[in-house]
Amino acid sequence: MSNMQRATEALRASKKVVFFTGAGISAESGIPTFRDKLTGLWTKHDPERLETAAAFRENPALIWSWYLWRRHQVGQAKPNAAHLAIPQLSNAGWEVSVVTQNIDDLHERAGSSQVVHLHGSLMDVKCFACHRPGKLTPAQLGIPEEGQLIEPPRCVRCNGKLRPGVVWFRENLPEGAWRSAVRLVKNCDLLISVGTSGVVMPAADIPNMALAAGATVIHVNLEDVGLDAADEIMLTGAAGVFLPALLRALGVGAPLPPDGLT
């Protein structure tokens, strides 16, 4: 049996499905993954140096502007076939939830309603000093021009600087999100891990957690990221190709083209 056939059978035999997603699912929407080279305005910056609390402390305007630019980039992007396949599976009767490491809102815009954001969201802000969640006015969401740096707005409670509501290295994941993710993962029949390199902890432990709880794990990735467990199936290729192909193989979604994947 091919891996695609094994994956189709695993999906057919399951009821509760968790999609665990990373940057690779949004790549086909034009959002670079963490390993991609940056394009455009920010080519001269190294994201690993921008995505830290230390960087924000040293140069808040640079970091704030970088996130304003990324928020704009996400705003221009559209959900792709992989994001769209997930609510289709739920409409076809599966109990589907999404646990994502992504800070974009493309799952929600594709129509997924149960989305747990492990690493926060580009749409949220909080105070760097007192952690109070903040709100931004449309005027505070300007797009920085080349070379222009915008100062972060201030907290209404303590006048501290507002920072993006995302999780940087050495920061704890939002407790509620992590708890929900663990509950969903331990109770699913099938976990479909899509477009994640699986190196950033503790999220990277999620496929193992599912296997340990007796679930089957399907990986969809351009590269082989399997862990070689018996209940694991590797689908090597683009998420925007494989997720719709899985739905078609199940008879859900668009009809199969003559030379499609089966």
State yes or no: residue 226 binds ligand BJW (CB under 6 A).
no
Which of Zn ion, ligand BJW, none interacts with 226 (beta carbon under 5 to 8 A by kind)?
A: none
- Picking from 141, 112, 147, the residue whose alpha carbon sits closest to that of residue 125 is 141
Contact 248, 254 (CB under 8 A): yes
The correct pick among 15, 157, 179, 183 for binding Zn ion (CB under 5 A) is 157
Q: Can you tell me the distance from the alpha carbon of 198 to that of 181, in angstroms, rounded to the nearest whole number?
A: 16
Instruction: Output the smallest distance, CB 212 to ligand BJW, in A.
Output: 19
One residue of 13, 54, 92, 130 binding Zn ion per CB under 5 A: 130
Name the residues annotated as catalytic.
119
From the list 46, 170, 228, 257, which residue makes contact with ligand BJW (rule: CB under 6 A)?
Answer: 170
Taken in order 37, 39, 44, 49, is the CA torsion positive or negative? negative
**Pick 95 or 241: Cβ nearer ligand BJW:** 241
Site string for ligand BJW, 109-148 (x = CB under 6 A): ----------x-----------------------------
Size of the site for ligand BJW (CB under 6 A): 33
CA 246 to chain centre: 20
Of 32-40, 54-62, 184-192, 245-253, the window that binds ligand BJW (rule: CB under 6 A) is 32-40
Single residue of 127, 210, 233, 234 touching Zn ion by CB under 5 A: 127
Residue 167 binds which entry of Zn ion, ligand BJW, none, with Cβ cut-offs from 5 to 8 Å by kind? ligand BJW
Any contact of residue 205 with ligand BJW (CB under 6 A)?
no
Question: Pattern of binders to ligand BJW over 185-204, x per CB under 6 A?
Answer: ----------xxx-xxxx--
The residues of the shown chain that bind Zn ion, judged by CB under 5 A, are 127, 129-130, 132, 155, 157-158, 160
The residues of the shown chain that bind ligand BJW, judged by CB under 6 A, are 22-24, 27-28, 33-35, 51, 101, 103, 119, 166-172, 195-197, 199-202, 220-223, 225, 238-239
